[in-house]
Chain A
Amino acid sequence: MENQKRLDEFQAKIDAGIKIEPKDWMPDKYRQTLVRQMSQHAHSEVIGMQPEANWLTRAPSLRAKKILMAKIQDEGGHGLYLYCAAETLGVSRDQYIQWLHEGKSKYASVFNYPSPTWADMGAIGWLVDGAAIVNQVSLQRTSYGPYARAMVRICKEESFHQRQGYEIMAEMAKGTPEQKEMAQEALNRWWWPSLMMFGPHDKESSNSGQSMKWGIKLESNDDLRQQFIDKTIPQVELIGLEVPDKNAKLMPNGSYKTSDIDWDEFWNVIKGNGPCNSQRLKHHKKAHDDGAWVRAAAEAYGKKQMELVD
């Protein structure tokens, strides 16, 4: 039983803005929430490499190829920071990966959509990374120290990702009619999934209340989503594309009112029925399984070397 005094002291620390560190006492539920959220975040970075790796060989210029390679590496690097940060909660990376493969741990649903054209490389950087930044900027102030510090590092790189994505879209939007059509079509496809990235409405979000009280989450899903919408709609218009929501309307307060998200689709993809859920997981499992003999060799060799030293 966690006694009330400890809980009160814990809450007082959070309220005073003092970071919680790995060795500090924390309520089980706080730890569990972070295990769930941080592993989901780490997996998202790694699974997110797949739709982009899909276009690496087909990137159309030397510059585009270099940028995409660097970006995919950054995403994987973010996965590494996050796994390391999440391991401070007492769970190993192997365990997290096993949970991912067993479907017990999730990753961002947005990566369950395909990337059929080069414009998707633009849309993913601009919209998906753009939405992630809004969320991650907020998480830089999260109450768990290792998570907050990982976010600070990650945010520095994400803004470059978003710019490169927007640049791809801008270039295509002013290109040939086919390119412009591809750009618009990718925007249409990624618009709603990006808005879904912020999660359900506040009133439907079961974990939000406690997470906000504990300072894990600092702003509500709907507030963050609105920030993203208000930032992105003018960017759409600037490059001459159309917002894929006929009801989007600028309000007198400078904010945009938009149609509601198709929540059936949202829940459906979360439940595993999206177009690429099975593909993404299979890809990750296959790489992991195919690599088993390599990891075993590295371990065996490492042991032999240690024995030599002894």
Chain B
Amino acid sequence: MRNTLNKMNHLQKYCLRIADNSWILGNRLGEYSSKGPFLEEDLAITNVGLDHVGLSEAVYKYVAELDGTKSADDYAFRRAEHEYFNIQLVEYPNEDFAYIMARQFLFDVYQFLFLEALVDSKDNTLAALAKKSLKEVTYHIRRSTQWMYRLGDGTEESHFKIQGALNELWMYKDEMFFMDETDEEMMKAGIGVDLNVLKTKWEDKVTEVLTKATLTVPENPLFSLQYGKNGHHTDFMGYILLDLQYLNSKYPDAKW
């Protein structure tokens, strides 16, 4: 599969980034199932996870159509780590509820703005998928925003925990707005989104919510890592892929 991926065109790579973000995040949220702080929240987190898996499946199917030789499951389950193009933020582990919600909030704001812009894409499939997912993500962002308020302005302990998680995850935010050749090409073609415009909107929204939540917007990171959107991942990625790919790797000939 590796050779084909090297020759992959910009559209396919662009789509895989969208799908992989939701795929890895959806799986992270799935890992939390049965571990929530109370039953309603446990179900809500799995529900958001399911939306992400649904979006990733739809986009993988589209990439499979564009490619014509592989299935959506091949993309989801049968790639090497460096062939997944999700941003690093979504692979960050479920350290505790504060990390889960901080990760979710930072990503939800990004994804909402991204999809909102993608609705106008000249690629009809992407535009339609964006429109459909936007309804779900509108609910996601409302939920994670509420949690920023509750945790930020809840108790001293919750304030401390959510602030700590935001500080820790802040170093992963720049990647969301980093534009490489694929992003530039897609934007020029009227298919992709201008991430510079997104960045300003994202900062405004995040600042607004964190301020209202009595939280401090963290200092800008001094160090930017190599980016997941080009296949460079954190130490955490290998382990979740090992789990995800377990049955497909161990029984390559089996159908499930």
Taken residue by residue from 272 to 310, chain A's Cβ proximity to chain B (1 for < 8 Å, 0 otherwise) reads as 000000000001001110111111111111101000000
Chain B residues in 8 Å Cβ range of A46 = 34, 39
Please determine whether A62 and B154 come into contact, CB atoms closer than 8 angstroms: no
Please determine whether B155 and A49 come into contact, CB atoms closer than 8 angstroms: no
A290 to B157, CA, bound (A): 13
Please determine whether B46 and A73 come into contact, CB atoms closer than 8 angstroms: yes
The closest CB in chain A to the CB of B73 belongs to A61
CB distance from A73 to the nearest CB of B (A): 5
CB distance from B71 to the nearest CB of A (A): 9
The answer to whether A206 has its CB under 8 Å from any CB of chain B is no
Taken residue by residue from 30 to 72, chain B's Cβ proximity to chain A (1 for < 8 Å, 0 otherwise) reads as 1101111111111100110110011011001000000000001
Taken residue by residue from 226 to 243, chain B's Cβ proximity to chain A (1 for < 8 Å, 0 otherwise) reads as 000000000000001001
Given contacts A58-B244, A287-B36, contact A65 B256 (CB under 8 A): no
Please determine whether A62 and B72 come into contact, CB atoms closer than 8 angstroms: yes
CB distance from A41 to the nearest CB of B (A): 14
Please determine whether A73 and B256 come into contact, CB atoms closer than 8 angstroms: no
Chain B binder among A17-25, A175-183, A209-217, A237-245? A175-183
> Could you tell me how many residues of chain A have their Cβ less than 8 Å away from some Cβ of chain B?
48
Contacting residue for A295 out of B35, B38, B46, B57, CB 8 A: B38
Chain B residues in 8 Å Cβ range of A77 = 43
A46 to B255, CA, bound (A): 30
Chain B residues in 8 Å Cβ range of A56 = 30-31, 33
Please determine whether B97 and A61 come into contact, CB atoms closer than 8 angstroms: no
Please determine whether B251 and A179 come into contact, CB atoms closer than 8 angstroms: yes
A76 to B38, CA, bound (A): 11
Please determine whether B33 and A69 come into contact, CB atoms closer than 8 angstroms: yes
CB distance from A265 to the nearest CB of B (A): 26
CB distance from B147 to the nearest CB of A (A): 9
Interface Cβ pair total, 8 Å cutoff = 141
Please determine whether B256 and A172 come into contact, CB atoms closer than 8 angstroms: yes
A294 to B76, CA, bound (A): 33
The answer to whether A60 has its CB under 8 Å from any CB of chain B is yes
Please determine whether A60 and B33 come into contact, CB atoms closer than 8 angstroms: no
Given contacts A60-B248, A66-B57, A283-B34, contact A72 B46 (CB under 8 A): yes
For chain A residues 172-204, which have a beta carbon within 8 Å of chain B?
Answer: 172, 175-176, 178-179
The answer to whether B177 has its CB under 8 Å from any CB of chain A is no
CB distance from B166 to the nearest CB of A (A): 15
The answer to whether A171 has its CB under 8 Å from any CB of chain B is yes
Contacting residue for B256 out of A49, A61, A290, A292, CB 8 A: A61
The answer to whether A144 has its CB under 8 Å from any CB of chain B is no
A189 to B37, CA, bound (A): 32
The answer to whether B178 has its CB under 8 Å from any CB of chain A is no
Please determine whether B157 and A297 come into contact, CB atoms closer than 8 angstroms: yes
Please determine whether A58 and B246 come into contact, CB atoms closer than 8 angstroms: yes
Chain A residues in 8 Å Cβ range of B37 = 287-288, 290-292, 294-295
CB distance from B74 to the nearest CB of A (A): 10
Contacting residue for B53 out of A65, A168, A298, CB 8 A: A65
The answer to whether A137 has its CB under 8 Å from any CB of chain B is no
The answer to whether A79 has its CB under 8 Å from any CB of chain B is yes
Chain B residues in 8 Å Cβ range of A295 = 37-38
Please determine whether A301 and B157 come into contact, CB atoms closer than 8 angstroms: no
Given contacts A57-B31, A290-B35, contact A296 B73 (CB under 8 A): no
Contacting residue for B33 out of A53, A294, A299, A300, CB 8 A: A53
Chain B residues in 8 Å Cβ range of A65 = 27, 30, 53
Between-chain CB contacts (< 8 Å), 12 pairs: A53-B33, A56-B31, A57-B244, A80-B39, A171-B256, A176-B254, A179-B254, A283-B35, A290-B97, A292-B37, A294-B41, A297-B150
| 7 nearest CB pairs, A to B | A291-B37, A297-B154, A297-B158, A294-B37, A60-B247, A60-B256, A53-B33
A positions within 8 Å CB-CB of B: 46, 49-50, 53, 56-58, 60-62, 64-66, 69-70, 72-73, 76-77, 79-80, 83, 118, 168, 171-172, 175-176, 178-179, 283, 286-288, 290-302, 304
Taking A287-B35, A291-B37 as known contacts, 8 extra A-B pairs with beta carbons closer than 8 A to each other, sorted by chain A number, are A60-B247, A73-B46, A176-B254, A283-B35, A287-B34, A294-B151, A297-B151, A301-B150
